[in-house]
Amino acid sequence: MIGPVFIRAATVADAPAIHAALLGIADALGQRRRIVGSVEDIRQYGFGPEPAFRVLLAEADGEFAGMCLWFPSFSTWFGRPGVYVQDLYVAPAFRKLGVAEQLMRRLAADVRRAGGTYIRLSVDAGNARAVKFYERIGMRLSAQERIFVARHDDFEQLAEGDNS
């Protein structure tokens, strides 16, 4: 039997566990080869002077149980802050125990306390289990939004067009 789950803000000492979770997500999607970020990237960009993201970490019985990696967002249409969840992961030994839901509920409560009014996220197109999970906890697929991405060569080409 697994003891209670504790959720806390991650610290720089958690960077290896966060990176391992990201690798776990990639493995589950058959996309390990696409991960190029490192533990050092997590340390630098998540815990430096201007963190690019934050992480809620779940622990049970002193072990890493899961994490929710997110960053602040602002909706000009809502006129309110919110967050964008980049990654949600639960370690295999802790799945089906409600860890993901606890992480998302804690994030929502923290966002609300800070004046925020929404959570946005994307789901891998082939991850039907994740879609069902998010729907079960009250999130809805947005019919009004589509995600556009500029990365790799597209990003470089876009940046090269700046004449400033």
**What DSSP assignment string belongs to the chain?**
----EEEEE--GGGHHHHHHHHHHHHHHTT-GGG----HHHHHHHHHSSS-S-EEEEEEETTEEEEEEEEEEEEETTTTEEEEEEEEEEE-GGGTTTTHHHHHHHHHHHHHHHTT---EEE---TT-HHHHHHHHHTT----SS-------THHHHHHHHT---
- Half-sphere exposure of 33 toward its Cβ, with a 13 Å CA cutoff? 1
Task: State yes or no: pLDDT of 162 exceeds 80.
Answer: no
Which CATH number fits the domain that encloses residue 34? Answer: 3.40.630.30
pLDDT, residue 109, reads 97
Q: How many helices (H) and strands (E) does the chain have?
A: 5, 5
pLDDT, residue 151, reads 87
Task: State pLDDT tens for residues 93-142.
Answer: 999 999 999 999 999 999 999 999 999 999 988 888 999 999 999 999 88
Question: Rounded to an integer, what distance in angstroms lies between the CA atom of residue 151 and that of residue 137?
Answer: 31
Mean of the pLDDT values across residues 48-77? 96
Domain count, the chain: 1
Instruction: Place 88 in a pLDDT band, splitting at 50, 70 and 90.
Output: very high
Instruction: Place 90 in a pLDDT band, splitting at 50, 70 and 90.
Output: very high
pLDDT, residue 99, reads 97
* Domain residue limits at 122: 5-160
pLDDT, residue 152, reads 87
Dmax (CA) of the chain: 61
pLDDT, residue 1, reads 64
Question: Rounded to an integer, what distance in angstroms lies between the CA atom of residue 56 and that of residue 107?
Answer: 8
Structural tokens at position 110 = 């923290």
Q: Which residues make beta-bridge pairs with 70?
A: 54, 85
Task: State pLDDT tens for residues 18-59.
Answer: 999 999 999 998 889 999 999 999 999 999 999 999 999 999
